[in-house]
A and B are shown apart, each in its own frame.
Chain A
Amino acid sequence: NAGVTQTPKFRVLKTGQSMTLLCAQDMNHEYMYWYRQDPGMGLRLIHYSVGEGTTAKGEVPDGYNVSRLKKQNFLLGLESAAPSQTSVYFCASKPGTSGYNEQFFGPGTRLTVL
């Protein structure tokens, strides 16, 4: 089991460029999440999905879009990158509906927007 994987690990963009971050999980989890981590702010939820074909907004969704066409994949898109989106992005997945099930995290993607 690879668990949760994220592609790419690092990326540098220029302002206005677009990109897609890929998250994949091989644990057959229903729920998937995208977070961003900034110094002194912990992890903040960007978007999440409760199943294939579903997405919903989290705490800080502006400037991001997501898609979950396949159960195992959750894509995070930046249509027009801004320096404020410089961050470390984490994907997580969780089995079932119980809140007691923990989220499993990927290794992160470090994104710099110049």
Chain B
Amino acid sequence: AQSVTQPDIHITVSEGASLELRCNYSYGATPYLFWYVQSPGQGLQLLLKYFSGDTLVQGIKGFEAEFKRSQSSFNLRKPSVHWSDAAEYFCAVGAINTGTASKLTFGTGTRLQVTL
């Protein structure tokens, strides 16, 4: 069974500082990997996704993520955080086998607080 671990429940960074949110996954083959962001009171919005190819993936809002197969990780990064980035971030893993209806397994989320 697939699983996702986001070890950091809550992170606080200063505006302008760099950010790295950790995500570790467990899956028997090459997974689909996603990062979503949820602003307060809102639904989830896709930041970026990965399946194959270049292991460094660029997303929206200046975010990027790097897939490291040897570490089973898909960490999210941003060079300079803006106050508007304060939100909750979810990593998700999806199965390749379409027989599973492309179900996603989500991590428990990391809440990002940005101080001015």
Interface residues of A (CB under 8 A from B): 4, 31, 33, 40-45, 48, 50, 56, 58, 90, 92, 94, 97-108
Contact = CB atoms under 8 A, between A and B. Distances in A.
Contact of B43 (A56, A98, A101, A105): A105
A31 B101 contact: yes
B45 interface: yes
A30 to B, nearest CB: 10
A15 to B, nearest CB: 26
A43 B44 CA distance: 10
Interface residues of B, number: 27
B108 interface: yes
A99 B108 contact: no
B98 interface: yes
B46 A102 contact: yes
Interface of B: 4, 9, 32, 34, 36, 41-46, 49, 51, 90, 94-98, 101-104, 106-109
Contact of B102 (A40, A42, A43, A97): A97
A43 B109 CA distance: 9
19 contacts: A42-B106, A42-B107, A42-B108, A48-B101, A50-B101, A94-B102, A97-B102, A99-B32, A99-B98, A99-B102, A100-B51, A100-B94, A102-B34, A102-B46, A103-B104, A105-B44, A107-B42, A107-B43, A108-B41
A108 B102 contact: no
